């Protein structure tokens, strides 16, 4: 993927940008000699919603899933921990079979997008609007098929919009300009907060209900009931907490406190520590 971005930057006027209405030809099926080859020798990075779907599929807690199925990588760009799927021996995805993906209904967002790539140009390595591009690997025979797609139709077919909606606040965290400066190195506490709020929804649930969290933050009864009963809502709530805790964005509000009262602890952010 790094090589693709470098190529886009070197050729800003010919970078193969695709929009929602752009068309491309592609089809993948068992009859192709390259079937399943794209599921090996690659890094599959997982979004928070990927982890939520997969940990439930295997009946695991978030922590159990992370230990058993993933590896953590600290990126050079913003020094935050990212999660990638642990490959089987031979660098093949451990969930691929001769018949294809065994977790197809819950496959990660990166797999759903393929063969499309998505670049957030105005906030990452290139300037300009967000755009799509084709990941045309030399071994792939799928591009020689006659099946034609429109980008927006592919997104709809793959259920991409839901994944992006679920991850939207997390994306705002990792692309925050405060973390992208070369001199900014998140400390151990910040990294731990990020792991808790981004990836470990089960540990975050314990944090909310068993710390002083609910005595510090102002939550409506309906919101508390929603995050208690709905795991997706809890995950999105955790991402909003990250935006508050790391950058003081107005995504959450503290309860009104007596000005003479000493600072409270337990929310996890520097303001209340």
Please give the model's pTM, rounded to 2 decimal places.
0.85
For 76-113, the pLDDT digits (tens) are 777 889 999 999 987 899 999 999 999 999 999 999 99
Q: Quote the pLDDT of residue 265.
A: 52
Q: Quote the pLDDT of residue 41.
A: 84
Q: Quote the pLDDT of residue 262.
A: 42
List of the chain residues with pLDDT < 70:
1-15, 121-129, 180-184, 257-273
Q: Quote the pLDDT of residue 80.
A: 87
Q: Quote the pLDDT of residue 187.
A: 84
Q: What element of type H or E holds 119?
A: strand 116-119
CB 18 within 8 A of CB 131: yes
Q: Quote the pLDDT of residue 176.
A: 85
Distance separating alpha carbons of residues 149 and 174, to the nearest angstrom? 31
DSSP state of 86: P
Distance separating alpha carbons of residues 97 and 90, to the nearest angstrom? 14
Distance separating alpha carbons of residues 234 and 206, to the nearest angstrom? 11
β-strand pairing of 81-85 with 45-46: antiparallel
3-state SS class at 43: coil
DSSP 88-102: -GGGB-TTEETTEET
Q: Quote the pLDDT of residue 75.
A: 77
For 176-214, the pLDDT digits (tens) are 877 756 666 778 888 999 999 999 999 999 999 999 999
């Amino acid at each position: 993927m790094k090589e693709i971005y470098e190529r886009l930057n070197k050729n800003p006027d010919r970078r193969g940008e695709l929009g929602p209405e752009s068309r491309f030809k592609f089809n993948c099926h068992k009859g192709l000699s390259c079937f399943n080859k794209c599921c090996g020798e690659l890094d599959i990075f997982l979004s928070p919603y990927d982890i939520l779907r997969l940990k439930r599929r295997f009946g695991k807690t978030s922590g159990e899933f992370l230990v058993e199925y993933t590896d953590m990588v600290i990126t050079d760009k913003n020094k935050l921990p990212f999660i990638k799927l642990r490959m089987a021996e031979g660098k093949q995805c451990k969930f691929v079979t001769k018949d294809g993906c065994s977790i197809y209904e819950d496959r990660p967002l990166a797999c759903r997008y393929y063969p499309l790539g998505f670049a957030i140009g105005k906030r990452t390595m290139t300037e300009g609007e967000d755009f799509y591009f084709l990941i045309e690997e030399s071994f792939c025979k799928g591009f020689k098929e006659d099946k034609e797609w429109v980008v927006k139709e592919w997104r709809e077919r793959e259920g991409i919009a839901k994944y992006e909606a679920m991850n939207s606040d997390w994306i705002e965290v990792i692309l925050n300009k405060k973390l992208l400066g070369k001199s900014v190195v998140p400390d151990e506490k910040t990294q731990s907060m990020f792991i808790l709020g981004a990836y470990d929804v089960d540990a975050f649930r314990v944090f909310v209900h068993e710390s002083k969290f609910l005595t510090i933050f102002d939550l409506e009864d309906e919101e508390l009931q929603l995050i208690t009963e709905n795991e997706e809502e809890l995950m999105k709530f955790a991402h909003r907490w990250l935006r508050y805790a790391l950058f003081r964005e107005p995504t959450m509000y503290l309860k009104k406190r007596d000005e003479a009262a000493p600072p409270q602890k337990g929310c996890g952010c520097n303001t209340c520590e």
